[in-house]
Chain A
């Protein structure tokens, strides 16, 4: 049984800061900084709501530094599509400390992209279901799981979430 901390507002703003930093690594296209926000053994997984809720299965799971770096590389120039500007809005943050010293956090994410004709539009939205840990350098993802709301996705999901 996990317990709430004495100061949830303080914890929440700490986690909100982490998410703001995280969004900037994606939107400013700093893939090495994105990788650095994970533990070396961190997990990044993305799935759709239906698949995750009915089968419990994730559409992709990157485990550890090699996979995380590879994902960062694909979504920052290695795929052939033109890089677009992205804007990640991360809201509705809730966080609690777990008994084993980690932070369980949840949030909503909305992603806007600017496409090849320079039109900005809504791309996809979903929820984060994360496990964070405190390190000497600040909060890091032990697990960052993204569950997308839609079952039918836009053609190019070669983006970080």
Chain B
């Protein structure tokens, strides 16, 4: 058993499952967004604002945002443990990724509830 405290889930299995589930959420969000834009070719600000004022859309978007954060963290963590061998640099890289992800989540929520 290889233990690693910086991974996301409690185990390799949870990381793996989270990665699959978040991928599905992100796919659904992307398909919805593309579909919405295709079916509303002359989308204006008012309509766009109304879309995001709707609670279900906020839930969906927040879900996509959190999914992206988790997905990106697990992905970047894996990549860093593959390719960055010096522990110090790897730790720095992981911290930067973590910080950036956190900033994006807070910023995203602010935008979402700011409309």
- Answer whether A and B are interacting partners: no
